[in-house]
């Protein structure tokens, strides 16, 4: 059995939880989903839509606000009770915060940032990137089950998670988490983080690069984004010039995204940018230079002047 | 500002082969002689030991054998012993083998290694001796008491790009020591400062440097036999330029390929990275790499001036070892064993001085005496004019070098006169005549196919380089006006070419002129800009701890 740990924050499910779910379903075998928090009934109902054996809700006051200690204490007990073969997490910031501690606490293997899974002579073989994504390594877990696995964001598609014919059973589990054992005291989230756009949650992104030439042309890209209902983002030179804030930067020194649609305007496609968006479902590139590397990964490419192409696109979208 | 202070007996700055050897030697002396245990600390700017190490690398195991006689039992990563060696003179489309392998390039008994794995292995031995190794802590300043060196200060952490303290601010620590051994590598920022302040280079020749670029490739396993070593001269360099290519084969189809060029070239439009691409396209090299995959990239300068350019390597409370002191044999293309050897000799000197309770220059002078009596002088003195002789061109250089094997390096004028490398760079008008030259376009362009040849940005990605983005630039250009005015006309902004990591870019200022943009987070810490900038207005200082390349297998 695979136990998928869903992630919530302030009453909202993290979109990547569905991706972990899809990974678990495709890996094969029965799947259970666990949700930790307090007062999360609506979220549990949302999760129950998935094709799963059951949804386990651990409702405890000590889990109301995320802390690594609380999470680890509750999950250690839950995993002990459920005896899953594997535990799947989405490779989110939160997972990165506590999963290593959990693995150490349980004395079990942890395989992180997994992009694909296949079965080989009865065992799961996990694929994870090494050398910054240049190579893929096949990894198998050693030691007794359960093995802990985190799934790279964007590697699986959340909407590919199979929905059940009828809602899965929801079971509440009482786990006493000793509030005194929680050493962290969470403070209010950073102001910065509040303002920052989380581009990884955007479904459509319009990204601009050097080809936009001047700050005064930004409006053109913004108009396209508006017409598409997309977030605006950029490659490094744009943010370096201060035309857009740093939190809109995509790439190895910015954010990693995997939207359904990524429109690259005047982006040549340096590898530093590509690693931040290559997981996008559909990539559309518009660039003057037909030799630009962005076209190697684009699903649709227009070798042309963005100042001619984009206004035409906006006009078409607004029809 | 209140700073924490740490007191030690010996402080080693820089965890490379010199620093690690010094630390191990100190531990050995301590064990053999007993007495009050010495407090020893090693500072290293990389996130983990070895991550900033880059070399060809060919290891002459002489110093290793002495320092760690059972190095094989201890698992030293020295897998491929040299079996086959070739030296070629390259013309544009063919290769001419040298009739015999010149003795200095004979490598039988040497090992092809990954320097960063080797140093990482050494760091394990150092830590097993209970020595404190502080990785991720760059030293930013030397501490003095008058003219006596009394330690270093580590860099403040958590400063944003405008110089304001972030929530993560941590003040640097003052580490005070009876003896400070600087092993901060080629053009080390502390060695540079201390040499200047204490005039340790008085009466010495200016140091000459080279820059080496290197890629690690994975090629089909049967392509080339492990332990094969190829060195080349000639193409794609012009006769006036010093340097050459190398290709070393390791087990499992891993190939180390690189190109070294003297940083004393005259052509202001010269681009070491493009030259490396031309080299890889040569049929002799392309045949080996074709169908393989480039997995890692890096670049580093190396000191090649030799014996007459080594500064005074001791002062009150101070010793200098390894590349920081310029201990490289440019004829044999080797320095790791000399770094290790000088690290060991520095350790022996420091140990005795501390036991004798006298760490003044008068006592630490024994370090120089030890060097003079050691293999280091026996090896470096006869080749003291080699790089300098290539200043007269490839043919005279080769002739002198051949001659020196017989004469022991004798020359009519000794030391052979030399200029600092940046001084030799010619102005555009002088080199190319008065006709109009587009300084933003390469003179010898290369078609980037992303299979065999790459642009700088793609290469930088494969160096694993990372820096905290929100910090002041660690490349300080004291006068950026020069860039858009004088330098543009006189030299055509050579920084945009000699930097192998695309740190320097001239971008449109919006008013028809260009301005310098520094992409500091691309920096692979090679130090070439600090060395080669013709106006000497660039200062390389260490970035926030842990920043820089993440070499693995290099």
Question: Where do the structural domains in chain B lie, given as residue ranges?
Answer: 5-68+117-205+308-383, 80-114+207-303, 428-540
Domain hosting residue A285, numbered range: 199-317
pLDDT greater than 50 at residue B341: yes
Are A91 and A232 part of one and the same domain? no
Are A255 and A134 part of one and the same domain? no
- Tell me whether residues A240 and B517 touch, CB distance under 8 A: yes
pLDDT in tens, B201-254: 999 999 999 999 999 999 999 999 999 999 999 999 998 899 999 999 999 999
> Would you say B17 and B339 are in contact if contact means Cβ atoms under 8 Å apart?
yes
Domain count, chain A: 2
The enclosing domain of A232 has a CATH number of 3.40.50.1220
* Of B234, B259, B235, B256, nearest in space to B245 by CA: B259
- Choosing from A117, A148, A181, the residue where a domain stops is A181
Are A32 and A137 part of one and the same domain? yes
- Tell me whether residues B461 and A272 touch, CB distance under 8 A: yes
- Choosing from A154, A181, A208, the residue where a domain stops is A181
The DSSP output letter for A166 is S
Residue with tokens 């002495």: B66
Least confident of A88-102, A290-304, B435-449: B435-449
pLDDT greater than 80 at residue B416: no
> Would you say A201 and A90 are in contact if contact means Cβ atoms under 8 Å apart?
no
Domain B428-540 in CATH 3.30.70.20? The answer is yes
The CATH code that applies to domain B80-114+207-303 is 3.30.9.90
Least confident of A129-138, B306-315, B366-375, B397-406: B397-406
Residue A282, token pair as written in the block: 């559909």
> Would you say B180 and B350 are in contact if contact means Cβ atoms under 8 Å apart?
no
- Rounded CA-CA distance B449/B335 in Å is 34
A267 phi and psi angles, rounded to 5 deg: -105, 125
Are A76 and A166 part of one and the same domain? yes
Task: Output the pTM of the full model.
Answer: 0.77
Are A313 and A231 part of one and the same domain? yes
Residue B204, token pair as written in the block: 């010495």
Residue with tokens 């199979």: A162
The SS3 call for residue A205 is strand
What is the secondary structure of B469-531 as a DSSP string?
SSS--SEEES-SHHIIIIIHHHT--THHHH-TT--EEEEE-SSSSEEEEE-GGG--S--HHHH
Residue of B295, B458, B521 lying closest to A253 (CB–CB): B521
- ipTM of the modeled complex: 0.74
pLDDT at B108: 84
Residue A1, token pair as written in the block: 């059995």
Please state, as a whole number, how many other Cβ atoms lie within 10 Å of the Cβ of residue A226.
14
Does residue B517 belong to the interface with chain A, where contact is any CB pair within 8 Å?
yes
- Tell me whether residues B464 and A132 touch, CB distance under 8 A: yes
Size of interface A-B (CB pairs under 8 A): 31
Domain B5-68+117-205+308-383 in CATH 3.30.420.40? The answer is no
- Choosing from A155, A181, A207, the residue where a domain stops is A181
Are A26 and A164 part of one and the same domain? yes
Residue with tokens 């409006």: A219
pLDDT greater than 60 at residue B271: yes
The SS3 call for residue A124 is strand
Cβ-based neighbours of B537, under 8 Å, separated by 6 or more: B477, B478, B479, B482
**Domain assignment present for A219:** yes
Cβ contacts of A132 on chain B, cutoff 8 Å: 461-462, 464
Does residue A135 belong to the interface with chain B, where contact is any CB pair within 8 Å?
yes
pLDDT greater than 80 at residue B327: yes
- Tell me whether residues B469 and A275 touch, CB distance under 8 A: no
Are A165 and A29 part of one and the same domain? yes
pLDDT greater than 90 at residue B274: yes
* Alpha-carbon torsion angle B545, B548, B551, B554, nearest 10: -120
């Amino acid at each position: 059995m695979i136990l998928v740990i869903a992630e919530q924050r302030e009453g909202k499910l993290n979109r990547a939880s569905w991706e972990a779910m899809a990974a678990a379903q495709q890996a094969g075998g029965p799947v259970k989903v666990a949700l930790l928090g307090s007062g999360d009934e609506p979220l549990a109902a949302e999760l129950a839509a998935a094709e799963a054996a059951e949804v386990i809700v651990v409702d405890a006051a000590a889990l109301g606000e995320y802390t690594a200690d609380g999470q680890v204490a509750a999950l250690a007990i839950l995993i002990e009770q459920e005896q899953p073969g594997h535990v799947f997490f989405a490779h989110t910031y939160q997972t990165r915060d506590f999963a290593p501690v959990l693995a150490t606490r349980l004395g079990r293997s942890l395989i992180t940032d997994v992009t694909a899974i296949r079965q080989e002579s009865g065992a799961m073989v996990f694929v994870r990137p090494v050398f910054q994504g240049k190579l893929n390594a096949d990894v198998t877990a050693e030691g007794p089950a359960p093995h802990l696995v985190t799934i790279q964001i964007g590697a699986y598609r959340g909407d590919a998670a199979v929905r059940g014919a009828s809602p899965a059973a929801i079971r509440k589990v009482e786990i006493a988490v000793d509030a005194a054992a929680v050493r962290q005291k969470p403070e209010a989230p950073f102001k910065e983080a509040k303002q920052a756009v989380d581009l990884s949650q955007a479904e459509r992104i319009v990204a601009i690069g050097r080809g936009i030439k001047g700050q005064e042309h930004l409006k053109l890209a913004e108009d396209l984004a508006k017409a598409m209902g997309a977030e605006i983002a950029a490659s490094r030179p744009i943010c370096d010039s201060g035309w857009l804030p740093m939190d809109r930067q995509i790439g190895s020194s910015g954010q990693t995204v995997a939207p359904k649609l990524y429109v690259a305007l005047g982006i040549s496609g340096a590898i530093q940018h590509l690693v931040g968006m290559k997981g996008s479902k559909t990539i559309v590139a518009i660039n003057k230079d037909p030799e630009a590397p962005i076209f190697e990964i684009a699903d649709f490419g227009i070798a042309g002047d963005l100042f001619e192409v984009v206004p035409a696109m906006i006009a078409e979208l607004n029809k | 500002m209140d700073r924490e202070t740490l007191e030690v007996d010996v402080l080693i700055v820089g965890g490379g082969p010199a620093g690690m050897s010094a630390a191990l030697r100190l531990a050995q002396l301590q064990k053999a002689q007993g007495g009050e245990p010495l407090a020893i600390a090693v500072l290293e700017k990389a996130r983990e030991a070895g991550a900033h190490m880059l070399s060809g690398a060919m290891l002459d195991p002489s110093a290793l054998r002495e320092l760690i006689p059972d190095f094989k039992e201890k698992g030293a990563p020295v897998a491929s012993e040299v079996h086959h060696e070739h030296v070629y003179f390259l013309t544009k489309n063919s290769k001419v083998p040298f009739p015999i392998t010149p003795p200095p390039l004979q490598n039988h008994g040497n090992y092809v290694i990954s320097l960063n794995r080797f140093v990482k292995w050494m760091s394990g031995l150092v830590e097993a001796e209970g020595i404190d190794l502080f990785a991720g802590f760059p030293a930013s300043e030397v501490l003095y008491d008058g003219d006596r060196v009394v330690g270093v200060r580590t860099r403040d952490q958590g400063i944003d790009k405008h110089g304001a303290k972030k929530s993560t601010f941590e003040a640097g620590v003052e580490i005070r020591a009876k003896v400070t051994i600087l092993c901060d590598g080629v053009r080390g920022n502390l060695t540079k400062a201390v040499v200047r302040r204490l005039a340790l280079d008085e009466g010495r020749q200016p140091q000459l440097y080279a820059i080496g670029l290197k890629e690690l490739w994975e090629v089909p396993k049967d392509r080339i036999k492990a332990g094969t070593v190829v060195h080349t001269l000639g193409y794609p360099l012009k006769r006036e330029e010093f340097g050459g290519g190398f290709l070393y084969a390791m087990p499992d189809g891993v190939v180390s390929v690189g190109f070294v060029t003297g940083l004393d070239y005259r052509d202001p439009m010269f681009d070491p990275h493009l030259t490396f691409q031309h080299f890889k396209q040569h049929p002799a090299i392309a045949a080996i790499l074709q169908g393989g995959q480039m997995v890692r990239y890096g670049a580093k300068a190396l000191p090649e001036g030799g014996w007459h350019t080594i500064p005074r390597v001791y002062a009150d409370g101070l010793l200098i070892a390894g590349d920081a002191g310029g201990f490289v044999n440019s004829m044999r293309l080797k320095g790791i064993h000399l770094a290790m050897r000088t690290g060991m000799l520095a350790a022996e000197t420091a140990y005795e001085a501390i036991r004798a309770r006298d760490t003044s220059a008068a006592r630490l002078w024994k370090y120089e005496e030890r060097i003079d009596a050691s293999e280091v002088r026996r090896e470096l003195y006869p080749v003291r004019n080699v790089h300098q002789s290539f200043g007269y061109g490839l043919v005279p250089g080769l002739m002198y070098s051949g001659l020196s094997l017989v004469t022991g390096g004798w020359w009519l004028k000794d030391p052979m006169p030399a200029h600092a490398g940046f001084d030799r760079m010619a102005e555009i008008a002088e080199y190319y005549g008065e006709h109009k030259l587009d300084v933003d376009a390469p003179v010898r362009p290369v078609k980037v196919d992303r299979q065999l040849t790459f642009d700088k940005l793609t290469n930088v990605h494969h160096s694993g380089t990372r820096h905290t983005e929100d910090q002041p630039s660690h490349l300080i250009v004291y006068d950026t006006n020069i860039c858009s005015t004088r330098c543009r006309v006189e030299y055509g902004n050579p920084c945009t070419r000699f930097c192998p990591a695309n740190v320097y870019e001239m971008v449109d200022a919006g008013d028809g002129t260009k301005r310098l943009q520094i992409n500091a987070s691309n920096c692979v810490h090679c130090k070439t800009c600090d060395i080669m900038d013709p106006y000497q207005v660039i200062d390389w200082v260490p970035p926030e701890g842990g920043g820089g390349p993440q070499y693995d297998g290099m």
